[in-house]
Amino acid sequence: MSEYVLEMTGVSKSFPGVKALDNVQLKLRPGKVHALMGENGAGKSTLMKCMFGIYKMDEGQILMDGQPVTISDPMDALTKGIAMVHQELQPIPARTVGENIFLGRYPMKKALGFIPVVDHKKMYADTAELLKKVRMNFDPKQKVGELSVSQMQSVEIAKAVSANCRVLILDEPTSSLTANEVEALFRIIDDLRSENVAIVYISHKMDEILRISDEVTIMRDGKYIGTWDSKQLTTDMIITQMVGREMTNLYPPRSNQPGEVVFEVKDFTSINPRSFRNVSFQLRKGEILGVGGLVGAQRTELMEGLFGIRSHTTGQILYKGKEMNISRPKDAIDQGVAMLTEDRRGSGIMGVLSVADNISISSLNQYLDRGIAINKKKVEALVQDNVRKMNIKTPSSKTAIKSLSGGNQQKVLIGRWLANSPDVFILDEPTRGIDVGAKYEIYCIIADLAKEGKSIIMISSEMSELIGMSDRIMVMCDGRVTGFVNGKDATQENIMAYATQFE
């Protein structure tokens, strides 16, 4: 008998343009909580998706109890005793707790002796039993949509428990929980540990990791760095291993001179009480303002609020002392604000359309002949200009943007915004999912923009990027701005201290 319930060895996985996993290993012991750590984009989620059968590994193998197994899809993973609670919960809100838990494997009975029907009585009785196990006492017949986020999460865990899982993956389970809810979750984890379940715990929160985990595996840039006993580790050691790269030469030298304040946000509050609130900050001409924080700090929501994608209740946005009225993206764009969104596929590229269409969509007014017809030569000139300036690699301007690599897609999107000559440029995770070489090029573009006098707000979850690129760093936690750090004085520690200032 192997001492591990599950082992993954030599796992590699590539996506077009990015090597997401490179010879990674992970070994799980029964009855232990194994923390998996790394910066965003280090490959943790990809590794878990390989284990859970959502992705197919290019190389590597999975052993269970020492025996090689193949996991073809999530259903297969569940039958083998592997369960996963996703970072973004995927319940069916209009159905009951019981139906969600037993989805796809409803207990059946025979009506009139021969017609197979769902045995609701048994299903709800079993659900009640499971809920007791995860220390929750709400009605199994309640609709999941009416539950709080933490309750939904308990339902997901109950679902995992009901499958008699031997390995449970928890992906950022506490990112949207309050302190009390986290305590409740930890009690459930302790229960499961005593039942010999191996738990993979993915989180960015150091204190949680050090408290709950038995072992820690750290990943960086898709590579396996090492596995340690949690008792030997400190927060500093984890951060060093997670970031772990030379800071020199990763970022271009900057010669931008922050000038007078041009952009100011006062007491900005979301209509959603769980989102950003009372945010105030100033941005100078030619300044790069980094925005740091943990996942769930509401940084993206704040920026989308400023850009008119999300609504706010109170607050002012001033540009050169004049109030800006922004209720939708077009308003922001017309007033000189640009925003590169975080979700490149979801709200950035228009996949099937050409590079030319993608790059020109925001600035079509500039290429009109007699106010009606778009002059294709002017659009082509825009494309060629950007291709040259940003070194965009594309076979032609007619190529569909989805066939370009992530880095080149990102450059096209930056080009889209620059065509409008914005004064304030919000960049949300500008280098996410982009390989190291292209990252440097994007850093150079950002540095040049600041030098030209553009004001830049850059959200980043990569500590080193934040420190390496920002003149100033605004840190958020749980929807509030908890502090500002000067770029020169910034360290992982002082940023992390602000980022974990929960109320």
Residue 373 makes contact with another protein by CB under 8 A: yes
Name which of residues 314 to 333 contact another protein (CB under 8 A).
328-330, 333
Q: 3-class SS at 337? A: strand
CB-nearer residue toward another protein: 364 or 381: 364
Residue 170: what are its φ and ψ, rounded to 5°? -115, 110
Q: How far is the C-alpha of 128 from the C-alpha of 135, rounded, in Å?
A: 10
The conformation of residue 258, written as its DSSP 8-state character, comes to -
Name which of residues 36 to 75 contact another protein (CB under 8 A).
none
Q: Which residues of 413-441 are buried (b: 16+ CB within 10 A; e: fewer)?
A: bbbbbbbbebbbbbbbbbbbbbbeebbbb
Q: What is the DSSP secondary-structure string of 144-169?
A: GGGS-HHHHHHHHHHHHHHTT-SEEE
The 3-class SS string of 472-492 reads EEEEEECCEEEEEEEHHHCCH
Instruction: Give the number of residues in contact with another protein, rule: CB under 8 A.
Output: 29
Q: How far is the C-alpha of 196 from the C-alpha of 452, rounded, in Å?
A: 59
CB-nearer residue toward another protein: 197 or 419: 419
- Give me the least distance between CB of 48 and another protein, in Å please: 21
State how beta strands 167-171 and 198-202 pair.
parallel
- Give me the least distance between CB of 360 and another protein, in Å please: 7
- Give me the least distance between CB of 356 and another protein, in Å please: 10
Host H or E run for residue 121:
helix 120-133
Name which of residues 280 to 309 contact another protein (CB under 8 A).
307, 309
Residue 374 makes contact with another protein by CB under 8 A: yes
CB-nearer residue toward another protein: 111 or 353: 353
CB-nearer residue toward another protein: 157 or 356: 356
- Give me the least distance between CB of 367 and another protein, in Å please: 9
Quote the tokens at residue 419. 């065509």
Residue 98 makes contact with another protein by CB under 8 A: no
* Beta strand segments in 99-144, E: 108-111, 115-118
Asked if residue 53 lies in contact with residue 84, where contact means CB atoms within 8 angstroms, the answer is no
CB-nearer residue toward another protein: 37 or 324: 324
CB-nearer residue toward another protein: 208 or 304: 304
| Interacting residue with another protein among 38, 43, 348, 406 (CB under 8 A) | 348
Residue 357 makes contact with another protein by CB under 8 A: yes
Q: 3-class SS at 146? A: helix
CB-nearer residue toward another protein: 234 or 403: 403
| Interacting residue with another protein among 51, 64, 147, 339 (CB under 8 A) | 339
Number of other CB atoms surrounding residue 236 within 10 Å:
12
Asked if residue 410 lies in contact with residue 437, where contact means CB atoms within 8 angstroms, the answer is no
CB-nearer residue toward another protein: 199 or 306: 306
Rounded (10°) CA dihedral 17, 20, 22, 26: -170
Residue 334 makes contact with another protein by CB under 8 A: yes
For the chain, the distance separating the N- and C-terminal CA atoms, rounded to the nearest angstrom, is 47
Residue 395 makes contact with another protein by CB under 8 A: no
Residue 353 makes contact with another protein by CB under 8 A: yes
CB-nearer residue toward another protein: 315 or 348: 348
Stretch that binds another protein, among 60-68, 122-130, 141-149, 361-369 (CB under 8 A): 361-369
Q: 3-class SS at 305? A: helix
State how beta strands 18-28 and 6-15 pair.
antiparallel
| Interacting residue with another protein among 416, 432, 454, 480 (CB under 8 A) | 416
Q: How far is CA 212 from CA 43, 183, 230, in A?
A: 22, 11, 9
Stretch that binds another protein, among 149-157, 286-294, 334-342, 479-487 (CB under 8 A): 334-342
Residue 362 makes contact with another protein by CB under 8 A: yes
Q: How far is CA 294 from CA 174, 203, 279, in A?
A: 11, 10, 17
Q: How far is the C-alpha of 336 from the C-alpha of 44, rounded, in Å?
A: 38
- Give me the least distance between CB of 323 and another protein, in Å please: 20
| Interacting residue with another protein among 110, 195, 351, 377 (CB under 8 A) | 351
| Interacting residue with another protein among 349, 424, 442, 496 (CB under 8 A) | 349
| Interacting residue with another protein among 350, 378, 398, 436 (CB under 8 A) | 350
- Give me the least distance between CB of 333 and another protein, in Å please: 4
Q: How far is the C-alpha of 485 from the C-alpha of 491, rounded, in Å?
A: 9
- Give me the least distance between CB of 326 and another protein, in Å please: 12
CB-nearer residue toward another protein: 62 or 303: 303
Q: How far is the C-alpha of 221 from the C-alpha of 434, rounded, in Å?
A: 11
Name which of residues 171 to 230 contact another protein (CB under 8 A).
none
Number of other CB atoms surrounding residue 293 within 10 Å:
30
| Interacting residue with another protein among 117, 271, 361, 436 (CB under 8 A) | 361
Name which of residues 139 to 158 contact another protein (CB under 8 A).
none
Q: What is the DSSP secondary-structure string of 228-242?
A: EEGGG--HHHHHHHH
CB-nearer residue toward another protein: 257 or 375: 375
Binding positions for another protein, rule: CB under 8 A: 307, 309, 328-330, 333-334, 339, 341, 346-353, 357, 360-362, 364-365, 368, 372-374, 376, 416
